[in-house]
Structure 1
């Protein structure tokens, strides 16, 4: 009885941590591009460069945090420190108005923020395996926090000032640090041997094609979070409307993530990936034709069909393609290419396109990249069918 009670307390700490952190995250990043454009009056290229820093820093700094966690065996201490320092630099960011100082502040902010998700997820996965509580039921509270934040912050930014995003982000990260400090003290170390594994992985043709497809799919998806606020403003929407759109989009992901395994078992993992990328491509191209605002808000729900299915399916597909001893390496490379390089490239290039043309052109760019990703997944699907047919003929 005592053990069950303690388990319940730990679960509540996880729920509170994820909700608070992602509430702060959702309060900050979706409106940051609007703040830089309307309050600081930066150009599209400057906005793109500032916002593209985070994924680049993530690629190089995340492994350092992982090594520190493995060496110290104190992931909760590192997580708490990262939360507090991220909050500090977010507050300092709000005080700067010059492009150079904003650039420097974003580098430090990204360096500490890059530790938060991998450290907290590592702790949560370890707890999930020991307690037999599904990781998804824990992580779901992050999606709820993000959805709540983007809805509330659009209204608050209209009532007060866009700078409210910094104060909210800072306060909620400090609050989440209070719960992070009380999370379980151990994590599951994930040893990744990139030097010995990368050559072997690069011999797997389907894995290489998948990496390129993930780059073209995840880049626009993540950069969309940066430019959607500007897009809504450009076609006549309000900050409150941005919040509603993100609420619908983020809220639609959870049920599809929950249903992903059943859909994969029924239709096959490659077909699920193909469908998710197709929906994403059509969505970006649809935004380019500048539909009316109600149609834009309505189509936000398809994010569940696209990213809600793609994320769990992609992780399973990486595990399927890679040899067992290279699973961690394969996932690390996928994360670096899709979430890191893809995010950086589309955020930076999107800023340049926006500066020269418009937010509509940014979404045309996203649509073209996602369409190329779709074609690559068609190649993967065709290759898999041919391989299965050859294996079937040989066995018969």
Structure 2
């Protein structure tokens, strides 16, 4: 690929991540507030509705993967997923009562769940072939997410209507769709079947342990995206304050993602994951004591470390722990366990804990689970060090 063409594609991929995560940032952080204030659902019902998104992801993502393998055209599938998710988002605000709202979010999830894995597969293949860094692409997603929450927090408060979060979600995906016309067509080629890849990965104990730790560490991080708005309101913030908090939190991810590869090369991938997980653990433990909204705003920049470093490092570790022929399967499994199962589990548990106790108690639970995940990571580090030393030697 000519250099000018490579750079052009690179920029369009970055734009795609900006608009896609702008769409996600428009809806997900404020969805729990919308369901509570506009639809009158309990926190347990809210937990069920929100948990449906990642739960559907677990089962639907492999289907998108199989369709990609069969059609050999992930770019077209990505366009289809973006269009249908966008259209369904427009109609969601008009739905009423808990069962219908749950069904509506399931329909959105069927298509939204295909967007990230398909785009990640295309992007990872592109950066590996052209000597680019995934972190410099993914950081634009963090920027888009941050901008969306800030803008929508102010817009919903100024207009008194939360329907805007869905309209912005749909608009973001439509803009992302435009950038897809310059996307690369090729993704990682699958050299073995999913079943054979799964059999191979089951025998890799460090990989399996990392999946468990990722479930315990990243599940609370993703669940926080849904309940952080509720927490801000509890400690005395406003909807504009929710937007400001997410602007600081998600916006701080971008610079850390930009320099993630350099930091990983300097200190090692597992130590960086342990460090970022520790920051998450301390942040959740701090929220357990319900600090003032001003202090909460100040601590949101911790997300730059806990997410901005964790995401690139975790993806690198997955590819290093997995044998060469099953790396695509490993990435899919990692996404299903962390982004799917972990997200769904902690989102549901979070809703129940808020109903039974409080949102601050939920963060206490998150802190403890993250601590268990860190202990497992220390075991993984001890297991892989001898093998990696042999490779270097």
> Normalising by structure 1, what TM-score?
0.91
The structure-2 alpha-carbon separation of the partners of 1:313 and 1:133, relative to structure 1 and needing over 3 Å to count, comes to closer
State the distance in 2 between where 1:312 and 1:373 align: 18
Is the CA contact 1:66–1:119 (under 8 Å) kept in the aligned structure 2? yes
State the distance in 1 between where 2:4 and 2:269 align: 39
Structure label with greater radius of gyration: 1
1:115-166 Cα offsets, whole Å, 9 max, x none, are 1112222333344345444333333322221111111111001001111111
Deviates more, 1:344-353 or 1:314-323: 314-323
Is the CA contact 2:149–2:246 (under 8 Å) kept in the aligned structure 1? yes
Corresponding residue for 1:10? 9
The structure-2 alpha-carbon separation of the partners of 1:300 and 1:16, relative to structure 1 and needing over 3 Å to count, comes to same
Q: Which consecutive residues of structure 1, in runs of 5 or more, have no partner in the other structure?
A: none
Give secondary structure in 2 for the equivalent of 1:308: coil
TM superposition shift of 1:292: 1.1
Deviates more, 1:354-363 or 1:30-39: 354-363
Deviates more, 1:292-301 or 1:116-125: 116-125
| 1:50 partnered with 2:39 | no
Matches within 5 A, 1:129-148: 129-148=128-147
Is the CA contact 1:79–1:115 (under 8 Å) kept in the aligned structure 2? yes
State the distance in 2 between where 1:291 and 1:381 align: 34
Corresponding residue for 1:210? 210
Is the CA contact 1:77–1:181 (under 8 Å) kept in the aligned structure 2? no
Deviates more, 1:320-329 or 1:285-294: 320-329
TM superposition shift of 1:236: 0.9
Corresponding residue for 2:62? 63
TM superposition shift of 1:390: 11
TM superposition shift of 1:316: 2.1
> Normalising by structure 2, what TM-score?
0.92
CA RMSD of aligned residues (A): 2.5
Deviates more, 1:170-179 or 1:36-45: 170-179
State the distance in 2 between where 1:186 and 1:261 align: 24
Corresponding residue for 2:157? 158
State the distance in 1 between where 2:232 and 2:21 align: 22
Corresponding residue for 1:37? 36
Corresponding residue for 2:227? 227
State the distance in 1 between where 2:199 and 2:182 align: 41
Give secondary structure in 1 for the equivalent of 2:308: helix
Corresponding residue for 1:115? 114
Q: Which consecutive residues of structure 2, in runs of 5 or more, have no partner in the other structure?
A: none
| 1:291 partnered with 2:291 | yes
State the distance in 2 between where 1:242 and 1:327 align: 38
The structure-2 alpha-carbon separation of the partners of 1:108 and 1:151, relative to structure 1 and needing over 3 Å to count, comes to same
Corresponding residue for 1:254? 254
The structure-2 alpha-carbon separation of the partners of 1:324 and 1:71, relative to structure 1 and needing over 3 Å to count, comes to closer
The structure-2 alpha-carbon separation of the partners of 1:376 and 1:134, relative to structure 1 and needing over 3 Å to count, comes to closer
The structure-2 alpha-carbon separation of the partners of 1:203 and 1:280, relative to structure 1 and needing over 3 Å to count, comes to same
The structure-2 alpha-carbon separation of the partners of 1:234 and 1:26, relative to structure 1 and needing over 3 Å to count, comes to same
Is the CA contact 2:194–2:329 (under 8 Å) kept in the aligned structure 1? yes
1:3-29 Cα offsets, whole Å, 9 max, x none, are 555555434433332222221211111
Is the CA contact 2:191–2:325 (under 8 Å) kept in the aligned structure 1? no
Corresponding residue for 1:238? 238
Give secondary structure in 1 for the equivalent of 2:291: coil
State the distance in 1 between where 2:66 and 2:90 align: 28
Corresponding residue for 1:271? 271
Corresponding residue for 1:345? 345
